[in-house]
Amino acid sequence: MTKVSTLKVPARILMGPGPSDVAPAVLQAMANPLLGHLDPAFLEIMNEIMDQLREVFGTKNQLTMPMSGTGSAGMETAFVNVINPGDVAVVGVNGVFGQRMADVAQRCGAVVKTVEAAWGEAIDPNRIEEVLRSEDKVKLVAVVHAETSTGVMQPLEDISRLAHQYGALFLVDAVTSLGGIPVEVDRFGIDICYSGTQKCISAPPGLAPVTFSQRALDALDGLSDKVQSWYLDLSMIKGYWGQERSYHHTAPISMNYALREALRLILEEGLESTYRRHQILGGALQNGLEAMGLTMHVKEDIRLPQLTVVRIPGGVEDAAVRSRLLLEYGIEIGGGLGPLKGDVWRVGLMGHACRPKNVMTFLTALESILADMGVDVEAGAAGSAARQRIAAL
C-alpha cells in the first residue's frame, strides 16, 4: 500500500475572484464536534443562521436559509422552484454569470429573452422595459448584482420597479455582493436572491444562502408539476428549515458551523462598517493601480469595490505575472474570462481578505514584477496613492 504523507497546504493570500481568505475563527468553528442533523443543538444553530442571514440580506422573508451546495446550487434553486416550462424569463447578460443564468433558465424550459450589455457595462433598464412591453406575460426578470467576470455593480432599483410593474418576479444573483455591498432585499423589492459563502461572507465554499419573498413562494405553490430537481426542491426543504423539521437530506454540519461564525463576525463588525471597509480599501487598491499607470476596466460609478478588474498593460503576459505573484509572493489573483481572457486581471478584496496589509502587499509585488518586465512604473507611486485612501479607515 502506498504511504500518503500528512496533508500540507501552502499559505496563500487569496485575492482572486473567489474563494476568499477565511478568518481563523471560522476555521476553528469547523473543528467543533459533529452533531446529528436533527440534534436539538444543531436545530438551534440553524435558527441562528436564518436570523443572521435575514439581517445580512436585509429582509424579513421567512424562507431565508443556506442551500447545501455552492453558489451555483443557489442559482439553480432560484430558477427550478418558480419556472414552469414555457414561462418567459428576461435575463440581463453582461458577463459569464448572466450567461449562466440564461442557460439555467433554458434548462428549466423557460422561454429566455436576454438583454445584453458589453462586458464592463451595466444592463440598461430601458431595454428591460422594451422586452417587458413586448411580451404578454413575463414570469421573472433576473440580473447579476455583482458580475464577477467584469467587476460591474448593477443598479437594482429601476429594474425591480419595472419587473413588478409588469407583474414579474425580480431575481438577483448576489454571489459576490452579499456581505460586501448592500443587497437590501426588502428595500430593493427583490423576490428571489441567492449567494455563496466563499466571497464576501468569507466562509469556505459549500453553502448557498437564498431568500424567497411571499410572491416567490406563491409561484412555487403554483407550479404545474413537481420541481424538476429533487435535491433543490424547496417545497420539501422548507420543511426541514421550518417548524416541521422534517428530514430531507443530511445537511453539511461543519459548513453550517463555519457560516454561523462568518456571519457572526460580519454582524459583530456591523454591516455599515463592513461595507465601508470594502469601499475604502477597494478604492485604495484602484487608486494605487491607477497611480501605477494601469487602467480600470469599469467606469467608477458602476465599479465594484470588492472585485477590481484592471486592464493588462500592453506587451505584458497575463499568466507570467499571475504565476510570479503566486510563486514569489503567495498571492492569488484571477485572469479574465470569455472575451476578456488575457486582457484583464481580476483582483478581489473580499471579506477577511479585505485588509490594508493585503492592498499594500499586492501593489508592492505587482509594481516590482511589472518593473522587471520593462513596464514604466513610478516606484512607490502606487503605495502612496493607496495609503492616502486607507487613511480614511
Residues 372, 263 within the same domain: no
Domain CATH number, residue 282: 3.90.1150.10
Closest by Cα among 135, 75, 66 to 105: 75
Q: What whole-number percentage of the chain has pLDDT above 70?
A: 100
Residues 121, 260 within the same domain: yes
Boundary (domain end) residue, out of 267, 296, 318: 267
Secondary structure (DSSP) of 216-255: HHHHHHT-SS--S-STT-HHHHHHHHSSS----S---HHH
Answer whether residue 282 is part of any domain: yes
pLDDT per position as a tens digit, 114-135: 999 999 999 999 999 999 999 9
Closest by Cα among 374, 144, 180, 384 to 276: 180
Answer whether residue 218 is part of any domain: yes
pLDDT value for 1: 72
pLDDT value for 167: 98
- Asked whether 122 and 94 are in contact (CB, 8 A), the reply is yes
- How many domains in the chain? 2
Categorize the per-residue pLDDT at 18 as very low, low, confident or very high, splitting at 50, 70 and 90: very high
Residues 81, 50 within the same domain: yes
Q: Find the domain containing 208 and state its range.
A: 24-267
For residue 332, pLDDT beyond 80: yes
Domain CATH number, residue 242: 3.40.640.10
Answer whether residue 331 is part of any domain: yes
For residue 65, pLDDT beyond 80: yes
Categorize the per-residue pLDDT at 192 as very low, low, confident or very high, splitting at 50, 70 and 90: very high
C-alpha–C-alpha distance, residues 110 and 89, integer Å: 6
Categorize the per-residue pLDDT at 322 as very low, low, confident or very high, splitting at 50, 70 and 90: very high
- What would the mean pLDDT of 32-55 be, rounded to a whole number? 97
- Grouping H, G, I as helix, E, B as strand and the rest as coil, residue 14 is strand
Residues 199, 278 within the same domain: no
Categorize the per-residue pLDDT at 2 as very low, low, confident or very high, splitting at 50, 70 and 90: confident
- What would the mean pLDDT of 361-390 be, rounded to a whole number? 96
Residues 338, 229 within the same domain: no
Residues 239, 279 within the same domain: no
Q: How far is CA 65 from CA 73, 186, 254, in A?
A: 13, 16, 16
How many other C-beta atoms are found inside a 10 Å radius of the C-beta of residue 144? 30
Answer whether residue 3 is part of any domain: no
Q: Count how many residues are written for the chain.
A: 393
pLDDT value for 276: 98
Average pLDDT, the chain: 97
pLDDT value for 175: 98
Task: Enter the C-alpha cell of residue 354.
Answer: 479585505
Q: What are phi and psi of 241, to 5 degrees?
A: -85, -10
Answer whether residue 146 is part of any domain: yes
Boundary (domain end) residue, out of 215, 245, 267: 267
C-alpha–C-alpha distance, residues 146 and 144, integer Å: 6
* 43 class by beta-carbon count within 10 Å (0-12 exposed, 13-18 middle, 19+ buried): middle
Residues 288, 386 within the same domain: yes
pLDDT value for 161: 98
- What would the mean pLDDT of 253-257 be, rounded to a whole number? 98
Boundary (domain end) residue, out of 249, 267, 285: 267
C-alpha–C-alpha distance, residues 149 and 340, integer Å: 8
- Asked whether 79 and 72 are in contact (CB, 8 A), the reply is no
> How far is Cα of residue 112 from the mean position of the Cα atoms in its chain?
23
Residues 354, 237 within the same domain: no
Whole-structure pTM over 0.75, yes or no? Answer: yes
How many other C-beta atoms are found inside a 10 Å radius of the C-beta of residue 356? 17
Answer whether residue 184 is part of any domain: yes
pLDDT value for 90: 98
Residues 258, 306 within the same domain: no
Q: How far apart are the first and last CA of the chain?
A: 55
pLDDT per position as a tens digit, 295-312: 999 999 999 999 999 999
Residues 219, 360 within the same domain: no
- What would the mean pLDDT of 64-89 be, rounded to a whole number? 97
Q: What whole-number percentage of the chain has pLDDT above 90?
A: 97
Residues 192, 104 within the same domain: yes
Answer whether residue 19 is part of any domain: no
Task: Enter the C-alpha cell of residue 74.
Answer: 443557489
pLDDT value for 387: 97
